[in-house]
Amino acid sequence: MITRDIMRDTTRDFQKYYNPKLRGELRMDTNTNVLGSNPAAMKYLKHLEIELDGYPNTYSDGLRQALAELYGLETENFVAGNGSDEMLDVSFKTFTNWGDNCVVPVPSYTLYEYFVSMNGGKPVQVDLTDDFQLDVDGICKADAKIAIMPSPNNPTGNTFKQKDIEEILTRFKGMVIVDEAYGEYAKNSMLKRVNEFENLIVLRTFSKAYAMAALRVGYAVTNLNVSDMMNSIKIPYSLNKISECAAMAAVKDQTFITKSVRMVTNERPKLASGLERLGFEPYPSDSNFILAKCPIDHSVMVSKLKEKGVLIRDFGNKRRTENCVRMTVGTEELNDYMLKKISEVLEESK
C-alpha cells in the first residue's frame, strides 16, 4: 500500500482543514455575517435565468467592472476568483520560487503557511508585538520575497497601524499582501491606494460582510502591472458565472453592507463587556469577531458549548493565543443567547 511518503515532501505533513461534525449548532465560529444571506445576491439567484453551456468570462470582467466603479479604480486593478483563498494561492503562486522565504505573522490566519508551503515557499514566522501589532523591523529585516499580513487580523481582530503597513511597503524588498478579508468592518484600508505602491496586493472577500461564503468569491486589488502578472497565473474561469453575477448584484446594493457593519459596531462592545463580566479577557477588535482569553480551560469551554448547541473556535493550543477562543459578533439576541450558554458552562464547571 502506498504511504504518505509518496506525497511531495514539503507538504506531506499537511492535515485536513477545520471540519467540525455538525448537529445544527449555532455557528459563531466562522466570522460570517449573522444577518443571513446577502439579499441582493439572493434576489438575483431566485430569478436566475442562465445558459449553462458556455464558459463564464475568462477574467470575470463583469464583477471587476462593478468593483472598479465601487472603489473608483480601473477594471484592470482587479483579479477575481474562487474566494480570497484562491487569491492567496495565486499571490504565492505568482511570486514564489522554490525555497523562497515568505513572512507570516504569528498569530494570523491559519491557512497562510499552507499556501506558502503548497507553492514551494518557506514560511518565516515573525511574531506580532505584545499588543498584536506588526514587528516592522522584524519583517523588513527578514530575507524574504513576500510578506503577508491580515488587517484586521484573524484571529486577534485588530487592524494594524497604517503607518506600519506603509513603512513595510517602502522598506521591505518584496511583495506585500494586505489581506482585508474583514476590511468592510475596519476604518483603515489600503485598497484605494494600490496605485501608489509597486509591491502592494490587497485581498478582499464576499464571504464575510457580504454574507456570501457559500458562493466562494474573492478578489485581489493591485496596480496594473501586478494584476497582469497575477491574472496570467490564475486558473482561467475559476470564478463560476452564477457566483460572479450574484456578487455583481451584491456590489451594486451597498445598503446591506452598511446595515451589517452598523450592527457589528453597536453589538461588539456589548458582547465584549458581557464576556468580561463572565471572567474572560477580550482583546480589542475592529472586526466582526472577538478573541478572548477563557476563565476556564479553552477546550472544555468549546466542547461544552458545542454540546449546548453553540460553536465557537478554539485557539487555545496555539502559541500567542494560549487558552483563547474566538467568536463571531452576533445580533443582540444571538449574543445574549451565546453569553447565557457560556455562563451555564462556567456554572457547571465550578
Ligand X SMILES: Cc1ncc(COP(=O)(O)O)c(C=O)c1O
Residue 280 within binding range of ligand X, rule CB under 6 A: no
Residue 179 within binding range of ligand X, rule CB under 6 A: yes
* Least Å from the CB of residue 210 to ligand X: 10
Residue 238 within binding range of ligand X, rule CB under 6 A: no
**Closest among 21, 2, 45, 36 to 241, alpha carbons compared:** 45
Among 33, 38, 60, 84, binds ligand X (CB under 6 A): 84
Residue 62 within binding range of ligand X, rule CB under 6 A: no
Among 62, 157, 218, 330, binds ligand X (CB under 6 A): 218
Among 37, 101, 154, 285, binds ligand X (CB under 6 A): 154
Cβ closest to ligand X, residue 83 vs residue 282: 83
Stretch that binds ligand X, among 61-69, 83-91, 277-285, 290-298 (CB under 6 A): 83-91
Residue 181 within binding range of ligand X, rule CB under 6 A: yes
**Closest among 142, 144, 145, 98 to 121, alpha carbons compared:** 98
Cβ closest to ligand X, residue 189 vs residue 207: 207
Number of residues in contact with ligand X under rule CB under 6 A: 13
Stretch that binds ligand X, among 18-26, 79-87, 220-228, 323-331 (CB under 6 A): 79-87
**CB of 219 closer than 8 Å to CB of 87:** yes
Cβ closest to ligand X, residue 60 vs residue 346: 60
* Least Å from the CB of residue 218 to ligand X: 4
Stretch that binds ligand X, among 10-18, 135-143, 167-175, 205-213 (CB under 6 A): 205-213
Cβ closest to ligand X, residue 80 vs residue 346: 80
Residue 85 within binding range of ligand X, rule CB under 6 A: yes
Among 83, 157, 174, 316, binds ligand X (CB under 6 A): 83
Cβ closest to ligand X, residue 145 vs residue 326: 326
Cell matching residue 211: 454574507
Among 94, 119, 189, 205, binds ligand X (CB under 6 A): 205
Residue 314 within binding range of ligand X, rule CB under 6 A: no
Query: Where do contacts with ligand X occur on this chain (CB under 6 A)?
Result: 31, 83-85, 109, 150, 154, 179, 181, 205, 207, 213, 218
